[in-house]
A and B are shown apart, each in its own frame.
Chain A
Amino acid sequence: MADTLNPPGQVPVTVLTGYLGAGKTTLLNRILSENHGRKYAVVINEFGELGVDNDLVVDTDEEVFEMNNGCICCTVRGDLIRIVNGLMKRRDKFDGIIIETTGLANPAPVAQTFFVDDTVKEKTRLDAIITVVDAKHLPQRLIDSAEAEEQIAFADVIVLNKVDLVSPDELAEVEAQIRRINKYAKIHHATKGNVSITELLDQGAFDLNRVLVHAPDFLTSDEHEHNDEIRSMSFEAEQPIDAERFNAWIGALLAEKGGDMLRTKGILSYEGDDRRFAFQAVHMMADGDFIGPWKDGEKRVSRIVFIGRNLNRPQLRRGFESCQVA
């Protein structure tokens, strides 16, 4: 089972993003109609393409605002804060929350909402961001829309939909395009959103071990990529991490480059602690907590993943490695 960053009893929240026409609502209706015996509160907006068939549907306007905390990229969905607070008054009536965003939405405000509000942090946990993409039209979307690229960058799980409409070569190319942006998301091929819900819900996005083990990053070069395209990279450290050094380094890094850093996730082995420390950030908003213990005999390797623009690989590598205990 997946590790969770947060204590039990918290409501898992799944965020469903994807460009218009990618098949988001079809996938949502599939999830809801599958016979899983669970009840979901579904948050949609009135511009949805199709109706959603569920008992508990909340219709909302995506109301984004900027936090007055000195960090320019910290935008938050105030409507979600209200809705989560409202839903908590009947907590026993559902098992999870699914939030569908509009096609043009940047996922950052949704993700940052889970860092900013105390009640949301305390009562819920962001389980996974699922991005639905259209295999046929994604190449064009990536050219004409910054949001399409960010939706892939933010994803923990990508449903590559409508694969029946493309040739094997086209499919390989579109998958390579996704991997260039985000190496660490799980990709599922689908037609009409036919993905088993066990691959979508209860993902525990913080099960970074799983993600990283399946996508090792040893073979990538140390070249300095310097452009506005979104890239992802990960680093490992074999010596234990000095918590103070790590906090100082990551704090300064996010303060300076947070605008470019879309997502940062890590599992750290702190010196003198038998528990794994899970770290995550969206732009400048960061959070972290101890999760379960390292297993007996498990190699205590600290790993960190960056997804963003203008990532300076040698600098990030040196920075992370310098957080190790000397």
Chain B
Amino acid sequence: MSETADKVLQTRGKTRELDAFVVKASFDRSGSACAFALGDGEVAILRQGADDWQRIRAHEGAVLALATDAAPQGWISGGDDGRFYRIQPDGTVALIAPFGMRWVENVTSFTDGARTRLVACSAGKKLAVFNAQDEELKVFEHPSTVTGMVFDGKGKRVAASHYDGASVWLVASRSDTPRRLEWKGSHIGITMSPDGDNVVTSMQENSLHGWRLSDNQHMRMTGYPSKTQALSFTRSGKWLASSGADSVVLWPFFGGGPMGKPPTELAGGDGINCTYVACHPKDDLVAAGFADGLVVIADIASARILPVAGPGRGPISTLAWSPDGAHLALGSESGFAAMVDLSKK
């Protein structure tokens, strides 16, 4: 199995043992480089066309969050040292804001490609939004710790998950009252559909909960044997991919779904848990990683599976596509990292 499963990795991949938990992989907006955030506080950067993995010291403790910057190049990161950093394309680290002893557990950014550039992070119950000059625009307070955050597709709203639901804030609003989406329990992650109409959270009780904002319809998606760590909508908005079962679980967001519709399950059947999913930035494809280290790409319409990396390198903890969808980065809990070139040769 491994030999054939590893063919893509061997023929099209650049690999490295980074000797620390790979917390998150992220390409920058230009796609020119991929960064891998590590549990030892360092960030490893692999640039397109280079073989050298630059390692830089970013945080004192573990890096807990990494995302692409709002600028064309570079990244933003958060750590358990309470720091919110910018990582410049050359690997220089600059402080955006400190948050004392609170862990900076989530970071994200938005740009319209022109003048609007936003970066945001969460630390404890606070969600802070900064402009292109790193000036603090807003600090939103929540009833309990923010466990996940996401901008909508236009950068107008930012949504945060927490106990008993989620809060949707208007970034530019003068009023500091969010739209509260209520559902009892501990919500541990959040995503929003590309059209901005559906907010979906993952829950401690091994399920997903969703709200359709246009008509306040609730959605409950249950049946997972374990917690969902990763949620990802396809670019088309038709499918929501999720981890937490022994297959990639895809909920249909069309034809009246997901209410009353069973999910589509791909790449399952061997009893190994899917630990991470990431949808392709253009097509209805999903990359999925498993607890045994297996990484595959699944074509949702045809259910065809392309193996990318075989088992044996530790549970997959992160997957990331380049913006053009030609490269896939992956990382594992035991420190394995790779970037695979999937473009036509």
A residues with CB within 8 A of B: 56-59, 61, 63, 65-69, 76, 78-79, 81-82, 86-91, 93, 116-119
**Complex: chain A residue closest to B80, CB-CB:** A86
Residues B23 and A89 in contact, CB atoms below 8 Å apart: yes
- Docked pose: A61 CA to B126 CA in angstroms: 13
Given A78-B163, A90-B20, A91-B39, 4 more A-B residue pairs with CB atoms under 8 Å apart are A82-B145, A86-B62, A86-B80, A90-B21
Interface residue from A67, A88, A90, A93 paired with B204 (Cβ < 8 Å): A67
The SS class assigned to the B binding surface is: loop
**B239 proximity list for chain A (CB < 8 A):** none
Residues A90 and B124 in contact, CB atoms below 8 Å apart: no
**Minimum C-beta distance from A202 to chain B (A):** 25
B226 contacts A by Cβ under 8 Å:
yes
**B80 proximity list for chain A (CB < 8 A):** 58, 86
**B63 proximity list for chain A (CB < 8 A):** 89
- Docked pose: A69 CA to B204 CA in angstroms: 11
**Complex: chain A residue closest to B143, CB-CB:** A63
Residues A118 and B39 in contact, CB atoms below 8 Å apart: no
**B117 proximity list for chain A (CB < 8 A):** none
**Minimum C-beta distance from A116 to chain B (A):** 8
Q: Mark B17-33 against chain A: 1 for CB-CB distance below 8 A, else 0.
A: 00011010000000000
Residues A79 and B145 in contact, CB atoms below 8 Å apart: yes
Interface residues of B in 32-67 (CB under 8 A from A): 39-41, 61-64
Residues A63 and B205 in contact, CB atoms below 8 Å apart: no
- Docked pose: A46 CA to B227 CA in angstroms: 29
**Minimum C-beta distance from A67 to chain B (A):** 7
Chain B CB within 10 A, most for which of A68, A76, A87: A68
B residues with CB within 8 A of A: 20-21, 23, 39-41, 61-64, 80, 101-103, 105, 124-125, 144-145, 147, 163-164, 184-186, 188, 203-205, 226-227
- Docked pose: A132 CA to B14 CA in angstroms: 54
**Given A86-B103, A89-B64, also A63-B144 (CB < 8 A):** yes
**A56 proximity list for chain B (CB < 8 A):** 61
**A65 proximity list for chain B (CB < 8 A):** 144, 163-164, 185-186, 204
Residues B105 and A86 in contact, CB atoms below 8 Å apart: yes
Interface residue from A61, A66, A87 paired with B124 (Cβ < 8 Å): A61
- Docked pose: A56 CA to B40 CA in angstroms: 13
Interface residue from A58, A69, A117, A118 paired with B103 (Cβ < 8 Å): A58
21 of the cross-chain contacts (CB-CB < 8 Å) are A56-B61, A61-B144, A66-B184, A67-B204, A68-B185, A68-B203, A69-B205, A78-B145, A78-B204, A82-B105, A82-B145, A86-B64, A86-B80, A86-B103, A86-B105, A87-B62, A89-B21, A89-B23, A89-B64, A90-B61, A119-B227
Interchain residue pairs A-B with the least CB separation, the first 9: A89-B39, A59-B101, A89-B62, A89-B21, A90-B62, A90-B39, A78-B186, A68-B185, A65-B186
Interface residue from A61, A69, A87 paired with B145 (Cβ < 8 Å): A61
**Minimum C-beta distance from A131 to chain B (A):** 26
- Docked pose: A284 CA to B14 CA in angstroms: 50
**Given A56-B61, A58-B80, A89-B62, also A68-B23 (CB < 8 A):** no
Interface residue from B21, B64, B102, B144 paired with A78 (Cβ < 8 Å): B144
**B185 proximity list for chain A (CB < 8 A):** 65-68
Chain A CB within 10 A, most for which of B23, B61, B226: B61
